[in-house]
Amino acid sequence: MKSIFRLLSLFSLLIAPSFANLPELSSDNPIEFDENTHEIIARGHAELLSDTMVIKADEIRFNRETLDATATNNVFINAQDTRLLTQQAHYNVNDQTLNIENFRTGQPPFFISGCSASGTIDYLCIDNPTVFLGEPDAISPNFIASSAEIRHAQDDCMPTTIIGHHIFFRIGKIPFFYLPYFVHTAREIPLLLSNENGRDNKLGTYTRNTVLFEVNPYIKFGALIDYYSQRGFLAGPAAMYQKIDGCYDVEGIFQSGFIYDKGTQSELGTDSLGQPIQRNRYFIEWHHQQNITENFQITGQLRKWSDSASLRDFRPNLFNGDQDPDNFAEAVYSGPNYFLTAFTRFYPNNFQNVEQRLPELNFNLLPTPIGCTPIFNTINAKIGHLREENPRTDTVLKSTRMDIFYGIHTPLNINEALTFTPLIGGEINQYFDKNTSAGTFTRYRGQLGFDAQFNAYGQWDYTSPIWNIDGLRHIIRPIVSYRFIPEAHSGTGPIPKIDRRVFTTNISPLDLAYLRDVDTAKERNTVRFGLESMLETRNKCYGSRELASLKTYQDYLIKENPNGDHWSFWYTEFNFSPAYWVNFKLYDRVNVTNFTLNEINTSLCFTDARFWTLSYSINTLHHARNQHYIDAGLHLTPRTSIRGRCRYDFKLHEVTEAIASISTRLGNAWLAELQVIHRQKAVRESNWEVTLLFNLLPLNLNLIPIPL
């Protein structure tokens, strides 16, 4: 039984006249008082409780004159969010200083051990610490230092800071990097590591490494370091940064690699223009996003490659995500009902044909009522210098163009089910400077049309526990839209055809404000028919869940297109997900003139997140490709899973790619994956490739995703 009453009696008799706010001392055994040392002694689950700290130990001695407490054997210290374990500790109640030997402490996900420490809980100095990133094991990443400081912020929103001197980063007990000085915030991991080892016929035996170290709480800096036995060394600086501070947010990632390629000329091959690839090769990748204020954002991207295959050859994971490098910068100011935009797209790669904006300024007024009327007006105005350099023909097109669109519309609710929106508008395209002819050129385009939408729905009290259905609601929306866009012009031509119609498998915009083929604009007279149908059920958490949806559109061209057709493709999009574990998607385009299926993309996926996934998809483009995919995954244990992917090409009548992999978690910090890849008729990749990957698992899921 704890002897709190006896302790309070001793305090009141011995020291109460002099001290008012003393800690409480308790234990299972009777508390003793040593007349020689003037110490109060508590043994057996002893506990010292002060305003800022709790100390538990087998024995605690408290000196009533010096206010020193000494705890021995199985000492446990808890203060704020910090916990320390040691065999002996000295604590002064008056100045709240602490001295400990051979201790361990932790603030997940970090665990620290050291020879000795002194200071306060808010500022603790440690000798010869070892800091583990995650739960310690034989292969956990960690670092050792000659000395370190731990600073706890008074503000709960601020993270703990670790300052180290003469740092050696290690994997287990193997050091691999040194820093003379290191500052780290304890809310995330201070380094990112990725290692990929493999072999193929075109690169030889290789190792790819991405290493990033924290240099301050917001920036990680490091390098990409690769070696290819048939190509040589590749290296380049890398960095990532992130700062979230209210309305001011900034994040980005920079990666680069430079190599003198020692491969044979057949291994180097040719670029997308058919030109021989040179031996000095490189890639630079930078992605940046920043919120300067709540209303002002900046986004930019730089992707500079020495040739069209430099990233594909040496960092295929980066290349597969985006195979056509886009380089741009954009600043956007958003007002209450408008946007101001400065945009530039530039041309750093000499193997691309890019429609450059150098720059382009935009003003967009969102649909805004005119006074107190039910009439809404819209403005889109922009001016920019356009330039295009064709690397195949060495021709250059350039112009300075201003576009101003103004449109008005008024939604009319005919009844509860029908909405009719007539609209009218016009656009002026003014060419001030062009290199294809002298003088100016002005195009005038008008717009007359309407949008009609019929809304209907039905509800049923149907339930199915198996499919997790709680009631059904069916929404159907037939749609009819019409646009007549006449065209007239004045001035001298021709004009540079920079913004022209490009190939796309998506349905084209209908409204004049969204048409981008300005330089090749023709008269349009189009009716669009559409049908949208959705089936929903109640979501047990919130709102509704979509079980199925069907969207289909068809254009009738009153003025025939250049091919002499009056009907566009018939577009259909269908989604079906009656339960969380099954999902089916379909998108197709049908040529209604000859009833030819020009494109179909489907996917069917079954998922049991705890055990397995299985998906089958089709990607078919008329006269271009017909590929089928099977992807399967299976969790063998909570730490180990296997995965397989197969791609079959029906035009080639063979399996063009097959991937088999097994991944497992090593210790508490690493994910290892073994991949075997077989390809057929690959343009630059090897037919066979074996890779072994090691990735340091993130300890904080809020990190910027980094493609490694």
Q: What integer pLDDT is reported at residue 153 of this predicted model?
A: 64
The residue assigned the tokens 């800690």 is 23
Domain boundaries, the chain: 1-91, 97-187, 191-321, 386-579, 604-708
Q: Which residues of 81-101 are buried (b: 16+ CB within 10 A; e: fewer)?
A: ebebbbeebbbebeebebebe
pLDDT recorded at residue 3: 44
pLDDT for 451: 95
Can you give the pLDDT at residue 172?
Answer: 86
Judged by DSSP in three states, 558 sits in coil
What's the rounded Cα separation, in Å, for the pair 291 and 45?
A: 54
Eight-class DSSP state of 518: G
pLDDT for res 670: 87
pLDDT reported for residue 16:
40
- Give this prediction's pTM: 0.83
Q: How many residues does the chain have?
A: 708
Decide: 171 and 185 in contact? Cβ < 8 Å.
no
Dihedral angle of Cα 257, 680, 277, 307, to the nearest 10 degrees:
-50
CA of residue 608 relative to chain centroid, distance: 25
655, exposed or middle or buried, with CB in 10 Å at 0-12, 13-18, 19+? middle
- Of the candidates 86, 130, 82, 77, the one whose C-alpha atom is nearest the C-alpha of residue 107 is 82
Task: Report yes or no: 314 and 259 within 8 Å, Cβ to Cβ.
Answer: yes
Backbone angles phi, psi at 105, to 5 degrees: -150, 165
pLDDT tens track for 439-456: 888 889 999 999 999 999
Alpha carbon 41 to its chain's center? 58
Which tokens in the block code for residue 92? Answer: 């002064």
Side chain identity, residue 181? Y
Instruction: Please provide the DSSP assignment of 80-149 as one string.
Output: TTEEEEEEEEEEETTT--EEEEEEEEEETTEEEEEEEEEE-SSEEEEES-EEEESS--TT-EEEEEEEEE
Positions in the chain whose pLDDT score sits under 50: 1-20, 700-708
Q: Which CATH architecture has domain 1-91?
A: Sandwich (2.60)
Q: What was the pLDDT predicted at 519?
A: 87
The whole-number pLDDT of residue 5 equals 41
Q: What is the pLDDT of residue 534?
A: 95
Greatest alpha-carbon span in the chain: 112
**Tokens coding 476:** 């159907």
The radius of gyration of the chain's CA atoms, rounded to the nearest angstrom, is 34
d(Cα 659, Cα 690) in Å, to the nearest integer?
10
| pLDDT for the residue 590 | 92
Check: CB of residue 20 under 8 Å from CB of residue 11: no
